[in-house]
C-alpha cells in the first residue's frame, strides 16, 4: 500500500509519490509522478509498459491510486454470460486502476485498453482525494477526502451509492476488513465502521498527525476456539505522517481498550508499506517498510498480544553506488517502494528516480541485520537526450550560400559587398556576354538603401506594435509608441487598435500617469483619445468600475487640488501685475536727454574754486543737518541732488530756502544765476 501524497506543499501531506504493485503476482508497478503522468512498468524486465497523461494532469494531479483486486476475475469466470452493459463494468475490472486527483474526481484507467475507462465525478468529493479502496466481492469503490466525507461508488454506473461524514477533520486513509463487512477510516483518530449501517463500531486513539497507512495484518483471530464474527480479535497496522512508529491495534470485544497493543520503530517517516497476511496464530507477519531516508526495514513477528517496548527491524536493506577510484565515494541510492513476492521469500525493490526507476528482485536469505547492495545506476539515471536530438534535422549550410531577406518594413536585407555598377551590367549586355546573374540585378536595384530612419517604427504599424507590447509587456516597444506627441497619430492608433487591447492600454496608461509629470502630460492625451473613441465599448463592460478603480482614484486625487491651485494662480497674477505697475511708476519722470553742446573751461583756478565751493557746501550741508536733525531722509536726498547741479553759493541759498519751507528755485532765478 502506498503512503504517497503526490508532492503537495501541505506540511502534513505524506511523503513520497503514489505508487502500487498490481495484485497479480506483482507483474506491474504503477507510478503517478509529480508531473501528472501515470506510468506502468513491467517488473520482470524493468520496461515501461504504458504511459497515460490525464487531460487535467497539471490542475488535478494524482494524489493516490489503487489496483482493482484480483478476486473479481476469479469469480466472474464460471458465471453466466453477461450483457454488454454489465461486461463493460466488470469483465476487465481486474485491469482497472483507480486514480484519485487533487480536485476531487476519480479516474478509472484500463491497462488492457491503454485508455481512460470511466470518470467518477458527480456527487462525490469537492476536495483532494486522499485514499481509494476497492471492495473485494462487489463492484464497489470507497474513497476519502479532505472534505471530511467518505463516498461509496458504484463502478458500473459511475454514481455515488452512499456518502457520509467520516470525521470532523479530513479523512486521510481507508482499509476494508478481510470479510468485506467493516471499513477502517482514519484522520488523526481511527474509526471502524459497519458498512451495512454506516455506524461506528469501535474508536481508536490513533496518532498525533494524519494517518497515512491502514492495513489489516491477520485474517483469523489468535484464539480459534471461540466463534469468530469476522472482525473481533483481528490486528491492523497504522502509520502516520512524521511518525517513526507503526502502531498495531487489536479489535477487542469490549469497547474500553482504545490504545495500540504494540509498535514497530523505523528510522524515518514511512513512505511505502507492504506485508504478508498471517493466516493462523503460528504464522508470523512479515512487514517491509520503506522510509523517507531511502532504506527498507524488514520485520517478522508473531502477533500474540500486548507488547510494551517498540520492536526494531530484523534486517535493514540499503542500496549504494560503487566508489570508482580514490576520489569518488559511494553515494546512497533511494529505495522508492518494496513489495513481497507471492512466495513470501523474495522482495521486489524499486529504486533510483521516479522517472526512470529500476526494479529488482532480491532473495531474503540473509541473516545479517544490515545489508548494503552495491548497484551502478549511472546508466539508468543518464537522460536519453540523443534520441530526442536525432528527430530534429538541421540543414547543412554552404559557406558560399547567400540568403536573401525580403525588404518588409522592420526587416533588413542582407548586406552585400559592393555590388557591381550598372554601367558594367549594361556593357555586358551590349557585348553579348553571358546573362547577368540575379545577384547582380538585385545589387543594381540597390535594396539596401535603408537609412537610420528605418529604425523608427512606421506610423501604420503603431496599432500592431501597441498590441504586441501590451500582450508581451515589452517596455521598450511601449515607449516607442506611447512617447509620440503627434495628436493625429495618437487618434489614428487608438482608432485602429483591437477592442481586446483597450482595457490593458488603460491599465498601462494608469501606471504611467503615476510616474513623472512630463510623461503624464503625454499620457493624458492618450487617455483622452481612448475614452472618447472607445466610449461605446467601455460602456458595455459590466466590471468597468473595478477594472478602472485605480484610474478613478488617481483622477479624483489630482482634481482635488485643482481648485486650490486655481485660487493660488489668481492671487499670484494679481501680485505680479501690481509689482510690475509699481516698478513702472518708480522710473525717471524725465527721460535722460543727450546734450547738444558741451562747454568746458580750461582755467584751473575756477576748477579749484568749484572744488572749494563744493567742499564748503558739503560743510554747510553737514551743519544744516545738525541744526535740522528732525528732517526726513527723503529731503536730504533731494538736497544732495540739487547740490550736485548748482554752485556753492547757490547751494547755500537753496538750503536756506528749504529750511525756511520754500519749494524749488524759481525758473527766473535759475536763468539769472546761469
Looking only at the bridges linking them, the beta strands covering 62-67 and 47-52 are: unpaired
Nearest to 112 by CA among 88, 93, 95: 95
Helix residue ranges per DSSP H, 237-365: none
Q: What is the mean pLDDT of residues 370-387?
A: 66
**Banded pLDDT at 668 (limits 50, 70, 90):** very low
Residue 216: in which H helix or E strand, if any? strand 211-216
- Evaluate if residue 389 carries a pLDDT over 50: no
Identify which has the larger pLDDT, 418 or 372.
372
CA atoms within 13 A on the CB side of 496: 14
Paired sense of beta strands 245-250 and 28-32, if any: unpaired
pLDDT for 57 beyond 60: yes
pLDDT of res. 271: 93
> Which pLDDT score is estimated for 424?
52
**pLDDT at residue 412 in the model:** 46
Residue 580 phi/psi, 5-degree rounding, is: -65, -35
The percent of residues above 70 in pLDDT, for the chain, comes to 71
pLDDT digits (tens, 9 = 90+) for 458-469: 556 788 888 888
- Can you tell me the mean pLDDT for 318-327? 79
Asked if the model's pLDDT at residue 388 lies above 50, the reply is no
- Name every residue whose Cβ is closer than 8 Å to that of residue 198 and which is 6 or more positions away in sequence: 162, 164
User: pLDDT by residue (tens digit) across 412-459?
Assistant: 444 444 444 545 545 555 555 556 677 777 776 655 444 444 444 555
Q: Is the pLDDT of residue 395 over 50?
A: yes
Share of the chain above pLDDT 90, in %: 31
Strands of 13-70, DSSP E: 19-21, 28-32, 38-42, 47-52, 62-67
* Locus of grid cell 503603431: 462
In this predicted structure, what is the pLDDT of residue 457?
54
Count CA atoms within 13 Å of residue 335 on its CB side: 32
The per-residue pLDDT of the chain, averaged, comes to: 77
**626-636 pLDDT per residue, tens:** 555 544 455 54
Nearest-5° Cα angle at 320, 315 to 321: 160
Determine contact, residues 204/233, Cβ cutoff 8 Å: no
**498: buried, middle or exposed (CB in 10 Å: 19+, 13-18, 0-12)?**
exposed
* pLDDT given at position 672: 44
Per the model's pLDDT, the better-predicted residue between 399 and 462 turns out to be 462
pLDDT of 248 strictly over 90: yes
Q: Which pLDDT score, from 0 to 100, does residue 539 have?
A: 83
Q: How far is CA 258 from CA 235, 248, 261, in A?
A: 13, 11, 9
CA distances from residue 406 to 397, 414, 464 in whole angstroms, order as listed:
19, 9, 20
Question: pTM for the complete prediction?
Answer: 0.56
Q: For residue range 521-547, what is the model confidence (pLDDT) as tens digits?
A: 888 888 889 889 988 888 888 878 777
User: What SS3 state is found at 319?
Assistant: strand
Amino acid at each position: 500500500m502506498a503512503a504517497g501524497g503526490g508532492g503537495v506543499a501541505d506540511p502534513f501531506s505524506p511523503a513520497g509519490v503514489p505508487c502500487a504493485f498490481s495484485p497479480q503476482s506483482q507483474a506491474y508497478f504503477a507510478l503517478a509522478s509529480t508531473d501528472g503522468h501515470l506510468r506502468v512498468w513491467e517488473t520482470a524486465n524493468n520496461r515501461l509498459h504504458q504511459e497515460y497523461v490525464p487531460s487535467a494532469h497539471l490542475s488535478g494531479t494524482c494524489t493516490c491510486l489503487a489496483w482493482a483486486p484480483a478476486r473479481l476475475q476469479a469469480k466472474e469466470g464460471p458465471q453466466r454470460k453477461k450483457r454488454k452493459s454489465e461486461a463493460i463494468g466488470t469483465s476487465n475490472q481486474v485491469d482497472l486502476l483507480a486514480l484519485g486527483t487533487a480536485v476531487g474526481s476519480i479516474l478509472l484507467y484500463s491497462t488492457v485498453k491503454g485508455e481512460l475507462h470511466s470518470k467518477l465525478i458527480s456527487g462525490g468529493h469537492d476536495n483532494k482525494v486522499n485514499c481509494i479502496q476497492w471492495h473485494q466481492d462487489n463492484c464497489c469503490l470507497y474513497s476519502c477526502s479532505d472534505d471530511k466525507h467518505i463516498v461509496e461508488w458504484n463502478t458500473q454506473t459511475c454514481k455515488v451509492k452512499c456518502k457520509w461524514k467520516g470525521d470532523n477533520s479530513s479523512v486521510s486513509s481507508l482499509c476494508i476488513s478481510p470479510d468485506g463487512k467493516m471499513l477502517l477510516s482514519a484522520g488523526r483518530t481511527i474509526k471502524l465502521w459497519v458498512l451495512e449501517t454506516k455506524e461506528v463500531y469501535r474508536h481508536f486513539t490513533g496518532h498525533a498527525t494524519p494517518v497515512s497507512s491502514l492495513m489489516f495484518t491477520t485474517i483469523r483471530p489468535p484464539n480459534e476456539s471461540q466463534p469468530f464474527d469476522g472482525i473481533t480479535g483481528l490486528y491492523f497496522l497504522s502509520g502516520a505522517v512524521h511518525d517513526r512508529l507503526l502502531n498495531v491495534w487489536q479489535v477487542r470485544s469490549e469497547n474500553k481498550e482504545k490504545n495500540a497493543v504494540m509498535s514497530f520503530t523505523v528510522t524515518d517517516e514511512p513512505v511505502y508499506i507492504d506485508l504478508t497476511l498471517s493466516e493462523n496464530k503460528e504464522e508470523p507477519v512479515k512487514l517491509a517498510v520503506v522510509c523517507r531516508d531511502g532504506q527498507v526495514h524488514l520485520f517478522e513477528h508473531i502477533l500474540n498480544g500486548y507488547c510494551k517496548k517498540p520492536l526494531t527491524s530484523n534486517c535493514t536493506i540499503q542500496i549504494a553506488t560503487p566508489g570508482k577510484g580514490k576520489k569518488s565515494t559511494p553515494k546512497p541510492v533511494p529505495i522508492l517502494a518494496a513489495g513481497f513476492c507471492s512466495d513470501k521469500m523474495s522482495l521486489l525493490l524499486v529504486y533510483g528516480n521516479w522517472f526512470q526507476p529500476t526494479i529488482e528482485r532480491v532473495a531474503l536469505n540473509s541473516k545479517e541485520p544490515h545489508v548494503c547492495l552495491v548497484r551502478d545506476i549511472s546508466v539508468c539515471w543518464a537522460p536519453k537526450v540523443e534520441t530526442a536530438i536525432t528527430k530534429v534535422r538541421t540543414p547543412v549550410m554552404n559557406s558560399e550560400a547567400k540568403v536573401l531577406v525580403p525588404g518588409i518594413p522592420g526587416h533588413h536585407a542582407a548586406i552585400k559587398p559592393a555590388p557591381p555598377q550598372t554601367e558594367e551590367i549594361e556593357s555586358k549586355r551590349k557585348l553579348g556576354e553571358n546573362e547577368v546573374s540575379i545577384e547582380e540585378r538585385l545589387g543594381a536595384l540597390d535594396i539596401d538603401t535603408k537609412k537610420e530612419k528605418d529604425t523608427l517604427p512606421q506610423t501604420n504599424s503603431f496599432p500592431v506594435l501597441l498590441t504586441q507590447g501590451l500582450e508581451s509587456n515589452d517596455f521598450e516597444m511601449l515607449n516607442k509608441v506611447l512617447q509620440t506627441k503627434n495628436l493625429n497619430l495618437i487618434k489614428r492608433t487608438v482608432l485602429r487598435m483591437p477592442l481586446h487591447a483597450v482595457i490593458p492600454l488603460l491599465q498601462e496608461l494608469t501606471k504611467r500617469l503615476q510616474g513623472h509629470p512630463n510623461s503624464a502630460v503625454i499620457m493624458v492625451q492618450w487617455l483622452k483619445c481612448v475614452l472618447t473613441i472607445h466610449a461605446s465599448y467601455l460602456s458595455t463592460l459590466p466590471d468597468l468600475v473595478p477594472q478602472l478603480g485605480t484610474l478613478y482614484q488617481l483622477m479624483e486625487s489630482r482634481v482635488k487640488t485643482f481648485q486650490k491651485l486655481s485660487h493660488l494662480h489668481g492671487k499670484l497674477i494679481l501680485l505680479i501685475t501690481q509689482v510690475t505697475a509699481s516698478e513702472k511708476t518708480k522710473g525717471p519722470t524725465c527721460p535722460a536727454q543727450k546734450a547738444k553742446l558741451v562747454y568746458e573751461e580750461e582755467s584751473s583756478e575756477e576748477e579749484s574754486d568749484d572744488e572749494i565751493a563744493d567742499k564748503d557746501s558739503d560743510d554747510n550741508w553737514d551743519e544744516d543737518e545738525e541744526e535740522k536733525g528732525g528732517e526726513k531722509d527723503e529731503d536730504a536726498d533731494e538736497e544732495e541732488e540739487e547740490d550736485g547741479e548748482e554752485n556753492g553759493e547757490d547751494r547755500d541759498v537753496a538750503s536756506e530756502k528749504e529750511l525756511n519751507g520754500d519749494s524749488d528755485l524759481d525758473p527766473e532765478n535759475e536763468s539769472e544765476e546761469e
